[in-house]
Amino acid sequence: MSTSSHSPDSAAFAAANTAARPLAGRARFLAACAARPLERPPVWIMRQAGRYLPEYRALKAKHSFLEMVRTPELAVEVTLQPLRRFALDAAILFSDILVVPEALGQPYKFREEGGIGMEYRLDGPADLAKLRPASAVREKIAYVPATLRLLRTHLADTRALLGFAGSPWTLACYMLEGGSSDDFARAKAVFHGERAFFDALMERLTLATIEHLVAQVEAGVDAVQIFDSWAGIVPAVDYEAASLKWIRRIVGAIGGRVPVILFGRGATGSLRTLADTGARVLALDWTVDLPSAAASLPASIAVQGNLDPVLLNTSPDIVVRETTRLLESMRGRPGHVFNLGHGILPQAKVENVAALVDTVTSFR
C-alpha cells in the first residue's frame, strides 16, 4: 500500500502552510484542511456533479449512471462539468459508494420507484462467505484510479482532487437491508443480535475500503472523504462499535498521506469521538450550529459545511443572504471548508449554485 509519485507533492503541501494570502484552489483547500489562516475558505459542494446540471442530464440521456461511473472518460467529463461553470476550489470524483459492495460480489441498481436496490440481501454467514476477498477490490474497480489519474492531468495544480468511499457501517446498511430503507431496522437488528456475523462483514468492508481509498491516494487525490451517511440512525452509545472503530482503522491505514474528511451525517452528539478517529476535517450536516461545533473542537481540526441544501432550490438573494451569514459566523476560525450540509438536490437551480460560489469566492 505504498504511495506513488502521483501522491500530493511536498511543494503543494508546503504551500498549504503559508500565512493568510490569496492562493490557488488546490493550495487553498490544503491550507484549510491544515487549519491555516486564509482570507476566505475554499468551496466545493457535495454532489456538485450531477442531476441539477443540464449538461449532465444530456449525457445521462445517452449513458446510464453505472456506465458513466465505470467509464473513465465519461466519469472525467461529469466530474469536470461543474468546474467549467463555477470557480470551485476542488473537484470530487464522480462515482458511487456502492462500487465497493459491487466489487465484493453484491451488485446494485437504481429502483424504478426510487432508491437503491442490491441484487440480493446478505442474510447470514453463508452469504458473506460467497463474497470476494477484500483484495479483489483493486482489480474489480480499477476504473476508479484510472479516472483519477486522468483527472489529475486535467486539473494539474489548479484545483484539489478529492476521492471518497462510504463508511463500512453505511455500506453494511444497504447490504444487510437489500437496498434503501427508511430506518435500516434489519441492519441494526443484525448489529445487536448477530454480532459475530456483523463483525465479520465489517472486517471485510473495512479491509475493502482501505484498498479502495489507498488506491485513490496512489492515483493522486489530495484528500479523501468518508461518507458515514447513516451515522445518525445509530444511538450514540452504539456508534463506536457499529461504525467509528472501523473508520478509525481506515484513517490509520491512510496514515496521514492525505487529509481525511469524515462526514457523519446525524452524529451531532459525537463530535469529540468523530475527532478522535484521526480525521483532519469533520464535515457537519445542516442541523449543526457550525460555529459552536468548531469552538468545541481542537483548533487543529478543520470543519466542513454546512449550508442547508434546500436553500439552493429557492432564489439567489436567499442563497447570498444565508451563505454570507454562515461565512460571517465562521470569520476568524482557521480551518473552514465551505460546503453544503449534505449533497446538492436534483431540484437545485444553477443560478443559485452560482450565487453561492460567487458569494464565497468574493468574501473578504
Lowest average pLDDT, out of 43-52, 177-186, 200-209, goes to: 177-186
Bridge partners of 161, per DSSP, are 91
The DSSP annotation for 157-208 comes to TSSEEEEEEE-HHHHHHHHHHTB--SS-HHHHHHHHH-HHHHHHHHHHHHHH
**pLDDT of 5 higher than 60:** no
| Residue whose cell numbers read 453561492 | 356
Confidence tier at 274 by pLDDT (50, 70, 90): very high
Retrieve residue 293's grid coordinates.
Answer: 461545533
Distance CA 167, CA 210 (A): 10
Say whether pLDDT at 110 is over 50.
yes
Is the model's pLDDT at 41 over the cut of 90?
Answer: yes
Per-residue pLDDT band for 24 (boundaries 50, 70, 90) equals confident
The pLDDT of residue 272: 87
Q: Lowest-confidence range among 1-5, 22-26, 232-236, 281-285?
A: 1-5
At residue 203, what is the residue type? E
Burial class (CB in 10 A: 0-12, 13-18, 19+), 10: exposed
pLDDT at residue number 19: 42
Cα angle 69-72-78, degrees, rounded to a multiple of 5: 65
pLDDT tens-digit readout, 348-362: 999 999 999 999 999
Residue 270's pLDDT is 78
Supply the Cα-derived Rg of the chain in whole angstroms: 19
- Domains, the chain, ordered by start: 10-97+131-165+206-361 (3.20.20.210)
pLDDT number for residue 2: 37
Average pLDDT over the chain reads 93
Taken as a whole, the chain contains a residue count of 364
- Rounded to an integer, what distance in angstroms lies between the CA atom of residue 358 and that of residue 353? 8
Please confirm whether the linkage preceding 17 is cis (ω < 30° from 0).
no
| Distance separating alpha carbons of residues 323 and 338, to the nearest angstrom | 9
Place of cell 441539477: 52
pLDDT at 269 over 90: no
Cell numbers for 216: 485513490
pLDDT tens profile 46-97: 999 999 999 999 999 999 999 999 999 999 999 999 999 999 999 999 999 9
At residue 285, does pLDDT exceed 50?
A: yes
Residue pair 290/303 in contact by the 8 Å Cβ criterion:
yes
Assign 3-class secondary structure to 304-336: EEEECHHHHHCCHHHHHHHHHHHHHHCCCCCCE
* pLDDT, tens only, 140-153: 999 999 999 999 99
Share of the chain above pLDDT 70, in %: 93
Mean pLDDT is lowest, of 22-26, 139-143, 232-236, 285-289, for 22-26
